[in-house]
Structure 1
Amino acid sequence: MASAAASPQREPTPSAPSAPLAAAPSSSIPQKRTLEDVHSPAVSSPLNPEPKPQKVQLQVPDDGQVMAREKRTKKDSLKKRESKGAPDSSRATPDPKQAEPQGELAPIRYKLANPKPGDFELSREPVFASHHEVQDPEGKTIEFLETSDHVYNKKNFHYTHCIADPAFPSMFYYRNTEPPPFAAHLSFEDTASHMYFDRAGRHVTSDKGFRMCRANVAVREGRWYWECKVIRGILKNRGEGDPESHGHVRVGFARREASLDAPVGFDAYSYGIRDVAGQKVHMSRPKDFFPPGEDIREGDVIGLEIQLPSERLQRKIVQGQYNPAIDAADDGDGDGAPEAPNIIRDRIPIRFKAHIYFEKIDYHATKELEELMNPSPMASGHNAEPPNPNHPAPALRTLPNSCIRVYKNGLLVGTPWTDLLAFLPPASKQAQQTGGREALDDGTLGYYPAVSVFRGGAVEMNFGPDFWFPPPGPEDTEMEGVDGPPRKTTEALRAVAERYDEQIVEDIVYDIVDEVGFWMQDGGKVIDRSARDEKAVAPGSEEIKELVQDD
């Protein structure tokens, strides 16, 4: 604690423009407020543009001048500021660079120190350690590995690998990158803890209760297909003394807001198929889907197809501009030019052990969908109207001509869901309590292939293009119409593996767009990296933040 002598001197209280109290005695008492002052409103309004202070304390010092003490502003406690949604200063690096105003849709830019030499090295995969081995239904040995030395997506933050690039002339330095394996696979970061993978990220299991893992790619529009094989689950041919199952699995699609510490289909942000009775699950409500008496057992291959309308149509829906009489057909981009998505990425480089990640604020559950999942008499009334494309609440708007189809061993079982919930902002919102901004699309939104495993259940993923059971062609597929009978589709069904390549291209384009914007903020000049610019470093920050996270 600093000494009293080191404390700064208190400035004298400013004087109010009042006349000396000539008639007041030497021991004068402060004068009473007039009736006009007592009833003067404290809040500014058009009729009262300059209100007087609500409470004014008067002092009479030795010189006889009346002094007005300014009302002190009470500071909120840390707990109260957090309840109001103040940014969590313990996570994101503070002090963004104060540049000229760019508007709400400009990415936030931070003051950063010069990169370290290691920041230019390629990203590395996690550290793998052997955990256990299992036999698949065909007798092949699968080694499951425990991953370590990598960050997990949790606590409202989302992490992607990044690297410093010497070709970028601005002071931001960093861009997206991909670690091995360079293909569509289950994400080692976008998963719950205590899940075990193979090195290719295609096999997954867990010895704990239900938990989920998302793939490293998301689909946003079009028709996409992937499949998975049950390695450990309900036994197909039970012998005497054999258990009923070696664990359980669920497969489906999940959005960014879906909880990783729960099975697919637990909330309104994911759709899942469970192995027991082949039931469909959404918002924790299992319903019959497979034929009676049919389960998903070891060795079965489940194919999942998702169909989403164009992003142009989706933006009309979430912005409240959808007209079913005109837009239901979703035929191309209309009369105008194609509309590109407005991707805004607020991100900051974070160190975690031997890795460099971009830390981004993730999307969080909305009140409307929480009420939809758990209806109660205390709800705000959004549940009075079922989800539809023109719902008053953006989070409850649905996507026409969207659906999920399920195949078993190459045969179409059916379409468990149609009219999927919209995911583009403002249907999805970033976590406000950690400093997120509403109505921003950072490019990570969409429906992700997802799988959940339970106490030994294991799954092998196949994102294509070489499938065990290739999906049907467009001439053999019917689309569900908004109104009227189904109709044939001419859109080809694509492997999710192709989406991985598209996602890489999108990241490159968005990195260049951001870099050009930052470079223009620097006056169009190439920054001299050999000389350290002290002005480019945040006060008191000689290095980017070192992230501490429990494994």
Structure 2
Amino acid sequence: MLAEASSPPEHDADDVISQASLPTSLVTVAGQPQSRKRKRATQTAASPAPSDPGSASGAANPPELLSSRVDLSSRPQLSISRGPIFVPAAEGSDYFKTDLIGVNRVGFRYVPAGINPPGYTQPCRTIESNPTSFRVSWEDRSPFITTTKDGLGLCGGTGFRSARCNAPIVEGKWYMEVKVMHGGGEHYSDSVRREGSHVRLGWGRREAPLNGPVGLDGYSYGYRDKTGDKVTLSRPRPYGRPYGTGDVIGMYISLPPRREGNKKDPHDPAHIKRERIPIDLKGQEVFEILEYPQSKEMTSLMDYSGKSTSSASVPPAPKKAAAGKLPERSGPSTTHKPGTAALRPLPTLSGSRVAFFVNGECQGVAFQDVYDYLQLRQSETQRKAKEKKRTREGVKEHRENPFNDGWLGYYPFISLFNDASVRLNPGPEFEFPPPNDIDAVLDGKPAKEEGTERTWRPTCERYPEFMAEQWALDEMEEEEARVEAARTAATEKVEAAKRAERNKKRQQAEARKRAKMAAAVEQQQQQRRTPSVDDERSTPGAGLVSLGHPSPSPLRHGTTYAYGGGEGDIEHGHSPAPTFASNGDLQGGQSGYNSDNMETEVENGEAQAGTQAFSHIEASFTYPEYRPPQGTNG
């Protein structure tokens, strides 16, 4: 019945979107400790998920990152996780180690994931693992805690190790039983350990460590078997009677209604927001989530050197300590060093209370006004620093989530020392049923069982509610992803149109530039083919070349004569020496004088031209002074 009630909802075809709007990739990197150096893709894809539940690290065999829809097309779509695989802790033992799961460690949390059908924007969704009921979490426990196949029996190893159940309590009144199979300092017959087996039971938040007992810090509240003390912040206080093997411990918690996030305040920690990355771990898809860290405000409560402060979650110690009890230690200091930021206040859940029963006998209120399970509000400086760091990194990595991801709350927290073992009973039938109105008994009022409606609920009813909440968050994420995909598609369309327009304008500008350059080249070539009149005038001999005459000799520079003796003939400078250019006769005619005919020309009345030519030649020649050779008389 529980499996049917907690089955994932069916989706209609109208609820999916087309494949064209699917993103090509899911994520770029997986979780890594942030550093100042930019990491390569292969390095940032490494995951702290262990390759073996008992190994110290999974770096040697990191899981595969589910990076695209192509990677998921050939994988089966599961509604129930494949794991775990049970490995007997010892030959013939009823307790098993679990394989094929990602045990929570190194500040990371793992949740079973399943692949969405084609057409969804989100590639993966939240799924269950067998058995689909309230039990200990396969992933959320120390690997040194072995379990039975139904997830209700637990057995410890060496030292104190803890486990949480698979659904948190966030509001209302809830009750469950835990039967101690071995505890209270009892030794096994073949045990060689000096210390016996011990049990601590209580309630803890997500930040409570699994490698220590419940009550180790302010994130959990416990009840000890050895002395019957209640303990939180590692400070035992007298509470109830001790318990041991064979006893049945009833665990009761009452929390006020959960607070909804303020819509006008985007930084309200009560808002729901997820930060998770799907990965492939040994063939099983899981969500890898950065676990909520412990705050410095809560850590400061462990400082025993400061002055004590009043705290509703830590009841004041009695005036006289009982014999054999540890001495009371003072609380945190309220003073701060100069220059350090003031600690944020730790809010509590007003009206909350925790109580325990031993074999049906109420031990009274153990804790009241416990600390709120929501995260502390980040300051503006913290937000800017983290945003700047993400910008500096430049890649998408796991981010610390300051909001509620749906997993915050108080979990049943079971701690076992050495070979202690227990058996959980989440209801609905109990070995020692509590009164219908537990709060009335805690307040000292007489219990009226007849006609009294039960005010509490068995924790077995919490699991289907929790899974329904997770699937509702899946639907919310899918809707947000659709809107984001549509917005991204519209933005890319606008950008594509802008790029096309820019390319068109650039091509037009280049075409105009090429046409202008071609016109300039054509104009230069035209000018070379048809020189202007000014060019003819400024270039000596250009006219003769154009008329088919050879260029005059450069020795003619500075003198002119009438070419051919006729009118209209072009004047050219001539040389005193006979050349081809100074004579139009191809037979070798003279330039107008020589030593043989100069006197004849004077006599025949042509003395003017000859005289001018001779005078010019006379002026152009310089005769060197004659010097007789040496050795002669001159």
Alignment TM class, shorter chain as reference: 0.5 to 0.7
What is the aligned counterpart of 1:130 among 46, 63, 88? 88
- The answer to whether 1:298 aligns with 2:245 is yes
Q: Deviations over 1:294-326 (max 9, x none)?
A: 4211010001111111113x869xx9xxxxxxx
Quickly say closer, same or farther: Cα 1:428–1:461, change in 2 above 3 A.
farther
What is the aligned counterpart of 1:161 among 91, 109, 112? 112
What is the aligned counterpart of 1:445 among 396, 408, 417? 408
- The answer to whether 1:499 aligns with 2:465 is no
Give 1:226 shift: 1.1
1:295 corresponds to which letter in structure 2?
A: P
Per the alignment, residue 232 of structure 1 pairs with: 182
1:128 corresponds to which letter in structure 2?
A: F
Would you say the 8 A contact 1:268–1:369 is kept in 2? Answer: yes
Give 1:428 shift: 9.5
Quickly say closer, same or farther: Cα 1:125–1:246, change in 2 above 3 A.
farther
Give 1:89 shift: 3.5
2:296 corresponds to which letter in structure 1?
A: K
SS of the equivalent of 1:153 reads: coil
1:462-477 aligned at under 5 Å gives the runs: 462-474=425-437, 477=440
Quickly say closer, same or farther: Cα 1:91–1:220, change in 2 above 3 A.
farther
Give 1:509 shift: 0.7
Would you say the 8 A contact 2:97–2:143 is kept in 1? Answer: no
1:477 corresponds to which letter in structure 2?
A: A
Using CA pairs below 8 Å that are at least 6 residues apart, which structure has the higher relative contact order? 1
Give 1:207 shift: 2.1
1:302-341 aligned at under 5 Å gives the runs: 302-312=249-259
- The answer to whether 1:143 aligns with 2:94 is yes
Quickly say closer, same or farther: Cα 1:476–1:192, change in 2 above 3 A.
closer
- The answer to whether 1:359 aligns with 2:306 is no
Per the alignment, residue 416 of structure 1 pairs with: 366
What is the aligned counterpart of 2:127 among 177, 187, 190? 177
Give 1:375 shift: 4.1
Per the alignment, residue 271 of structure 1 pairs with: 221
1:57-456 aligned at under 5 Å gives the runs: 81=36, 89-91=44-46, 112-114=68-70, 115-121=72-78, 122-132=80-90, 143-166=94-117, 169-234=119-184, 246-290=196-240, 294-312=241-259, 342-376=271-305, 383-384=333-334, 396-426=346-376, 435-456=398-419
Per the alignment, residue 49 of structure 1 pairs with: none
Larger Rg: 2
1:182 corresponds to which letter in structure 2?
A: T
2:157 corresponds to which letter in structure 1?
A: D
Would you say the 8 A contact 1:398–1:419 is kept in 2? Answer: yes
Would you say the 8 A contact 1:364–1:428 is kept in 2? Answer: no
Q: Deviations over 1:103-154 (max 9, x none)?
A: xxxxxxx9633314334134122111222489xxxxxxx7111212211111
SS of the equivalent of 1:514 reads: helix
Quickly say closer, same or farther: Cα 1:524–1:465, change in 2 above 3 A.
farther
Would you say the 8 A contact 2:134–2:459 is kept in 1? Answer: yes
Q: Deviations over 1:72-106 (max 9, x none)?
A: xxxxxx98639xxxxx935579xxxxxxxxxxxxx
For 1:193 and 1:508, how far apart are their aligned partners in 2? 28
Give 1:382 shift: 7.4
For 2:185 and 2:297, how far apart are their aligned partners in 1? 40
Gaps of 5+ in 2: 1-32, 38-42, 49-65, 309-330, 336-341, 390-396, 490-634
Give 1:238 shift: 12
1:297 corresponds to which letter in structure 2?
A: G
Give 1:273 shift: 0.8
Quickly say closer, same or farther: Cα 1:378–1:230, change in 2 above 3 A.
closer
Q: Deviations over 1:39-79 (max 9, x none)?
A: xxxxxxxxxxxxxxxxxxxxxxxxxxxxxxxxxxxxxxx98
For 1:183 and 1:144, how far apart are their aligned partners in 2? 19
Q: Deviations over 1:175-221 (max 9, x none)?
A: 10001010011011111122110001101112211011000010011
Q: CA RMSD in A?
A: 4.1
Gaps of 5+ in 1: 1-77, 83-87, 94-109, 135-141, 320-338, 386-391, 527-551
Q: Which TM-score applies when normalising by structure 2?
A: 0.54
Per the alignment, residue 560 of structure 2 pairs with: none
Per the alignment, residue 312 of structure 2 pairs with: none
Quickly say closer, same or farther: Cα 1:522–1:205, change in 2 above 3 A.
same
For 1:428 and 1:216, how far apart are their aligned partners in 2? 28
Quickly say closer, same or farther: Cα 1:398–1:499, change in 2 above 3 A.
same
For 1:133 and 1:463, how far apart are their aligned partners in 2? 29
User: Hey, which of these two has a bigger chunk of helix by percent?
Assistant: 2
Would you say the 8 A contact 1:212–1:263 is kept in 2? Answer: yes
Q: Deviations over 1:474-524 (max 9, x none)?
A: 27625769xxx9999988211111110100110111111111111222229
User: Hey, which of these two has a bigger chunk of strand by percent?
Assistant: 1
Quickly say closer, same or farther: Cα 1:244–1:274, change in 2 above 3 A.
farther
Would you say the 8 A contact 2:83–2:99 is kept in 1? Answer: no
Would you say the 8 A contact 1:519–1:525 is kept in 2? Answer: no
SS of the equivalent of 1:204 reads: strand
Q: Which TM-score applies when normalising by structure 1?
A: 0.62
Quickly say closer, same or farther: Cα 1:238–1:354, change in 2 above 3 A.
closer
SS of the equivalent of 2:213 reads: coil
Q: Which moved more, 1:340-349 or 1:503-512?
A: 340-349
